Amino acid sequence: MILCITHSQDFYNIDLFFEYLASKNIPYFRLNSDRLNHLQKISIDENSFELTDESGNTVHSDDIKGVWHRKAWRISTPEELDQDYEKIFLNEYGSLRYNLITALEHIPWINPYENEKKVDGNKIFQLKIAERNNLTIPKTIFSNDEEKITNFFHQYCQGKAIAKLHGVTAKTMSGENMISTTIIEEESLENLADIAYCPMIFQPYIEKEYELRIVYVDGDFFTGKINNSENADWRVAHEGYVWSAYELPEPVKANLTSMMNEMGLYIGAIDMIKGRDGAYYFLEVNPQGEWGMLQKELGFSIAQRIADNLINRINFHE
pLDDT digits (tens, 9 = 90+) for 200-254: 999 999 999 999 999 999 999 999 999 865 555 555 555 567 899 999 999 999 9
Kindly state whether residue 231 falls inside one of the protein's structural domains: yes
Q: Are residues 153 and 251 in the same domain?
A: no
Q: Are residues 72 and 130 in the same domain?
A: no
Kindly state whether residue 306 falls inside one of the protein's structural domains: no
Lowest mean pLDDT among 47-56, 58-67, 124-133, 176-185: 176-185
pLDDT tens per residue, range 135-183: 999 999 999 999 999 999 999 999 999 999 987 654 444 444 445 688 9
pLDDT tens per residue, range 73-128: 999 999 999 989 999 999 999 999 999 999 999 999 999 999 999 999 899 999 99
What is the CATH classification number for the domain harbouring 191?
3.30.1490
DSSP, collapsed to helix, strand or coil, labels residue 126 as helix
Q: Are residues 260 and 281 in the same domain?
A: yes
Average pLDDT of the chain is 92
**Domain that residue 250 falls in:** 112-136+208-299
Lowest mean pLDDT among 57-61, 175-179, 184-188: 175-179
Return the sign of the alpha-carbon dihedral for residues 123, 125, 129, 134: positive
pLDDT of 230 reads 57
Kindly state whether residue 313 falls inside one of the protein's structural domains: no
User: Of 189, 205, 221, at which residue does a domain stop?
Assistant: 205
User: Of 152, 186, 205, at which residue does a domain stop?
Assistant: 205
Q: Are residues 199 and 266 in the same domain?
A: no
pLDDT of 247 reads 97
Kindly state whether residue 304 falls inside one of the protein's structural domains: no
Kindly state whether residue 143 falls inside one of the protein's structural domains: yes
Kindly state whether residue 307 falls inside one of the protein's structural domains: no
Q: Are residues 16 and 96 in the same domain?
A: yes
Q: Are residues 128 and 264 in the same domain?
A: yes
Kindly state whether residue 309 falls inside one of the protein's structural domains: no
User: Of 107, 126, 150, at which residue does a domain stop?
Assistant: 107
pLDDT of 216 reads 98
Average pLDDT over residues 304-318: 93
Q: Are residues 194 and 280 in the same domain?
A: no
DSSP conformation letters of 129-196 = HHHHTT-B----EEE--HHHHHHHHHHHSTTEEEEE-SS-SS--SS-TTT---EEEEGGGGGGGGGGG
Q: Are residues 155 and 98 in the same domain?
A: no
Per the structure, the count of domains in the chain is 3
Kindly state whether residue 245 falls inside one of the protein's structural domains: yes
pLDDT of 168 reads 63
294 Cβ contact partners less than 8 Å away, ≥ 6 residues apart:
213, 215, 222, 224, 243, 300, 302
β 41-44/49-52 pair status = antiparallel
Q: Are residues 116 and 260 in the same domain?
A: yes
Q: Are residues 277 and 132 in the same domain?
A: yes
In the predicted structure, residue 61 carries a pLDDT above the cut 50? yes
Q: Are residues 221 and 122 in the same domain?
A: yes
What is the CATH classification number for the domain harbouring 246?
3.30.470.20
In the sheet where 141-143 sits, what is the strand order?
Answer: 141-143, 200-204, 160-164, 182-185
Q: Are residues 180 and 221 in the same domain?
A: no
DSSP state of 235: G
